Structure 1
């Protein structure tokens, strides 16, 4: 079977490609390299992989590439950390609308052929207006619409998927990743902003950002907001596996899934945990700064549907994710200090377990 993956050179897309190849699929990876550049990630050297440099909003190109594909994972999107979403709101909205409309239109044009369905990648940000915890699939329809351009557009992705099914009968699956963590998340400058702004934006993902600052021994440690914001974290290899399971499953046709691990804690707890792994025994203080206007307070999904329908139950511990990011940052970020990682003791592992599952 053959799969087209757009956004294949990105952080998550690259792991999805690797998961597909490991499962025996033939894969076409499409990316315009606009985020990381030509040399940021080597395409896999595999006899079942074809690398294409091109625009995933180009409908003619998508139509050509899906000629003999069984599946299309529409993963390409303009995305970054919270600063990226704030400062490039229009670009995100316009670019991502072009990408999803192209994916849906080409899927419709392929109806009656070999293409079975389109798997759309949405986001946890569709729940931006949720005021509680443990939100379930369907809750996004009964809460205020997201106030950020990124969250609003990702909700639009889901409407595109459902509308293409409603009007044309194009099967779909929607996946909502929650905070992917792992090696390979690179700095991604954007030409439309100043150098200083780019440097602030590209460090916007919380775990790589915290790891880099812990390596620099930033103390007091800066935290946006009051530090009580709650997040869950998912190992990127687990996430890629979940996305492929959703693509494969017949029971996933015309369904949506929250994909997340059970690892979760407050932002202050996360900062202290990372600091202790990088700088064991060194006291830490915090300096809390004003949060962004639309900072989500609580982000913990109900994942029972993915477990029951897909058999997706990721269990990679938070310490494994953090240590992998730590190794990655030390290898790739200039001036990162060489610090030995302290192995997790049984006491420490249990303490993290209470944070993330309590």
Structure 2
């Protein structure tokens, strides 16, 4: 079945992968984006009749009312993402990441569906050796984590919604981000040949950008049995510390030098391992391994040679 879908922030890192896939499946997609990063990541789908694009702000209630009039599904990707960027613009973070979601829920009818990404950094600091499940109490530390947790609470109260708690995303995208951990570490390995890391024992989970897009499509196709719930989305074989991640990259780039520093602190203080059993029980399994992503990034960084692709 084909749907009319609105994707806010659809020209960003995830949207630039997800939107073309939705269009290929025959869905009619409207993207709302401010194009704040000057990206042209959706230029190659402008020829498609089932694609529409609007330059505007996801906080604009009148614009939202207009754009959602005949929409079946909303995928709100518009957000300030990552602790450093959010700390730099706290007001923007609160109004975009949380308040715009609240506005959207007020504008939509009960029949209209929402599928939204949040971050599993909401788990904060986990217990050693204990997997975080969707039942684990949330303990976000950063403004970014807190606003995404609050946004999840808002959409799940309306029931006709799905929340995807994303692991740290990696992989190439037309609107690239170099500040994500795997992307960043691999870039440093390729371009610098060395890295200095802090809190090297801190663990987190990872997921390829294309598997994130696949998770959204899976949610659309299985909405009735998945609605009203949150789902962790990550690679079950990739709960790795920073040092373990560096060792994995070194397998592909043997001359990569890894050094540890005692000074430095992750603003999110993310240190946890995550279970993805719940979404796997619905039939979703990732197709892209961490090794595949590292190989992809190495090729991509032959093309990319500057830092404009960072959110910070």
Q: Render the CA deviation track for 1:146-187: whole Å, top value 9, x for unaligned.
A: 121111111101221133x2xxxx621111111111112757
Q: How does 1:242-281 map to 2 (within 5 A)?
A: 242-249=215-222, 250-264=224-238, 265-278=240-253, 280=254
2:105 aligned partner: 104
Find the counterpart in structure 2 of residue 130 from structure 1.
Answer: 126
Residues 1:155 and 2:149 are matched in the alignment: yes
Stretches of structure 2 lacking an aligned partner (at least 5 in a row): 308-312
CA separation of 1:326 and 1:117: change in aligned 2, threshold 3 A: same
Indicate if the aligned counterparts of 2:58 and 2:96 stay in contact, CA closer than 8 A: no
C-alpha distance in 2 between matches for 1:271 and 1:320: 15
Aligned residues: 300
- Does 2:305 match 1:333? yes
Question: Which residue is 2:189 aligned to?
Answer: 214
The structure with more radius of gyration: 1
Instruction: Classify 1:186/1:48 alpha carbon distance in 2 versus 1 (closer, same or farther; 3 Å).
Output: closer
Query: How far does the alpha carbon of each residue in 1:329-355 deviate from its partner, in whole angstroms, 9 at most, with x for none?
Result: 2212249xxxxxxxxxxxxxxxxxxxx
Q: Counterparts in 2 of 1:132-211, with a 5 A limit?
A: 132=128, 133-140=130-137, 143=138, 145-163=139-157, 165=158, 171-184=160-173, 203-211=178-186
Give the 4+ runs in structure 1 shifted more than 4 A. Answer: none
Q: Relative contact order: is structure 1 or structure 2 higher (C-alpha 8 Å, sep ≥ 6)? A: 2
Corresponding residue of 1:37: 38
Greater share of helix: 1
CA distance in 2 between counterparts of 1:160 and 1:174 reads: 10
Residue aligning to 1:292? 266
The answer (yes or no) to whether the contact 2:125–2:271 under 8 Å persists in 1 is no
In structure 1, stretches of 5+ residues that fail to align are 188-201, 336-358
Structure 2 counterpart of 1:92: 93
**Following the alignment from structure 2 to structure 1, what is the Cα–Cα distance between the partners of residues 269 and 12?**
24
Counterpart Cα distance in 1 of 2:21 and 2:79: 20
SS at match of 1:39: coil
Q: Is the 8 A contact 2:250 2:256 kept in 1?
A: no
Tell me the TM-score normalized by structure 2: 0.87
State the TM-score, normalized to the length of structure 1: 0.77
CA contact (8 A) 1:233 1:263 kept: no
